[in-house]
Amino acid sequence: MNFDYTLYLVTDRQLMSCDSLTEAVEQAILGGCTMIQLREKELSSLEFYNQAVAVKQVTDKYHILLIINDRIDIAMAVQATGVHIGQHDLPAAAVRKVIGENMLLGVSASSIAEAIQAQQDGADYLGVGAMFPTGTKTDADSVSMEELQKIRAAVSLPIVVIGGINKGNAGRFKPMGIDGLAVVSAIIAQSDIKAAAAELKDLFCGKEKKNGF
């Protein structure tokens, strides 16, 4: 199946500029986000589940895909579109056995070897980064533009780039064959979340505004 990875919001309640995560997610969707990943590292299982239920009501309303970070159990419990895992989580092949063939499986990768392994293990898409320094994941391995190009050539999976993505660099990736931007603070921390999302999407797609329009 073909999914739209163009603008992929990764949530962070500590950074959001509004009062509730559901409001932040809705504004991001109205601005053009095509996928939402719920990432909650600090919540208890019950709190994460309740937050996932609330966010899914918003994503369902707009027919937007919801991905759950790390927590396979919560992704399955709320019937999310899929789950996203990192290199220190369960192996992708094991996760695929658990979730079956009908849920999306995203895998983080920062090297050609990790990307190829993820594809072989049944991943549906890759999150590649960190492309630039980022405060939201300080332990992330860095990926050069050259390495990104090699990863793109090595795998056929859709790729979203993550890590320090903002309006200053958002336009660099589509010409490289990258499918989307995964963004945290450049959307959710902005005072106008909807406008920030819309601007990033336009920049990624190569649509420059002229004369204010």
Taking the C-alpha atoms of residue 161 and residue 159, their distance in angstroms, rounded to an integer, is 6
Query: Could you tell me the maximum CA-CA distance found in the chain, to the nearest angstrom?
Result: 53
Question: Within its chain, how far is the Cα of 70 from the centroid?
Answer: 12
Please confirm, yes or no, whether 20 is among the known catalytic residues. no
Examine residue 196 and say whether the peptide bond preceding it is cis (omega within 30 degrees of 0).
Answer: no
Catalytic option among 56, 71, 110, 137 = 137
- Hey, what are 34's tokens? 């095509």
Catalytic option among 71, 108, 110, 152 = 108
Nearest to residue 167, comparing CAs of 125, 135, 198, 134?
A: 198
Are 110 and 143 in contact by the 8 Å Cβ rule? The answer is yes
Please confirm, yes or no, whether 39 is among the known catalytic residues. yes
Please confirm, yes or no, whether 61 is among the known catalytic residues. no
Residue 160 DSSP code: E
Burial 174-209 (b: 16+ CB within 10 A, else e): beeebbbbbbbbbbbbbeebbebbbbbbbbbeeeee
The catalytic residue positions are: 39, 108, 137
